[in-house]
Amino acid sequence: MTTIRRFCCNDLLRFASVNFDHLTETFNMSFYMTYLARWPDYFHVAEAPGNRVMGYIMGKVEGQGESWHGHVTAVTVAPEYRRQQLAKKLMNLLEDISDKIDKGYFVDLFVRASNTPAIKMYEKLGYVIYRRVLRYYSGEEDGLDMRKALSRDVEKKSIVPLKRPITPDELECMNESVGIRWFNYLLTGSSAFLFCVYSLFFYIIFTLVFLMYDAL
């Protein structure tokens, strides 16, 4: 029986096998910890009996006005657990949170233009290609920004495709104000304190784990 629950810091030591897939985007530990501390509702893991990690989804909520939306940063399922609609369940969970809790207008994600199986899967889930970002991945491969409108976007304005591709610089300019607000949020009030506490806790945990393995 599959169990889907919130991702926790211990899972960071157990999900490496899921990330072995060459199409899965991987990040450094501080990146995962930031998402875990800032957007815990958008970070879930699926487990098989015996606590084996089957897959996970990681995302966030961002934007302003009619650009307020949920974002899928990463979703992946281990090869041996595919074709069980697990990715669909994880995506539906993030979409429900974006729609019913955070009242977003849409959910978006980026996918490599060459990743045809993933593109087809997202299309079956109701996503459309909103725009192409030239050389989005490591300055080499184009990325496709795919979107799915949520119930708040009654007229589906958020998914009307752009007529031309954009560059990563243009994308960065569009997101710059969001990044500034997020940075300011971290530096003010209780959020900064909570973020520092989480960061210190994770640093201590991983330092201890490293020392234990080094001693073996």
Output the pLDDT for position 209: 64
What is the pairing mode between strands 128-137 and 141-149?
antiparallel
pLDDT value of residue 178: 45
pLDDT over threshold 70, residue 186: no
Percent of the chain whose pLDDT exceeds 70: 80
Res. 3 pLDDT band, cuts 50 70 90: very high
Segment 175-184 shows an average pLDDT of 46
Q: How many CA atoms lie within 13 A of 120 on its CB side?
A: 4
* Span 84-114, pLDDT tens digits: 999 999 999 999 999 999 999 999 999 999 9
In the three-class reduction of DSSP (H, G, I as helix; E, B as strand; rest coil), residue 31 is classed as: helix
**pLDDT tier at 31, thresholds 50, 70, 90:** very high
Confirm if 49 and 87 have CB atoms less than 8 A apart.
no
Computed over every residue of the chain, the mean pLDDT equals 85
Average pLDDT, integer, range 80-84: 90
Residue 193 has pLDDT above 60, yes or no: no
Place of tokens 């990146």: 31
Give the separation between CA 159 and CA 122, rounded to whole angstroms: 14
* Domains in the chain with CATH codes: 3-212 (3.40.630.30)
Bridge-based pairing state of the strands 69-77 and 106-112: parallel
DSSP E strands, 78-164: 106-112, 128-137, 141-149
pLDDT confidence band for 175 (50 / 70 / 90): low
26 band by pLDDT with thresholds 50, 70 and 90: confident
Joined tokens for residue 167: 């560059």
- Least Cα distance to 53 among 95, 89, 4, 111 occurs for 4
Percentage of the chain beyond pLDDT 90 is: 60
Q: In the numeric block, which tokens belong to residue 130?
A: 């909103």
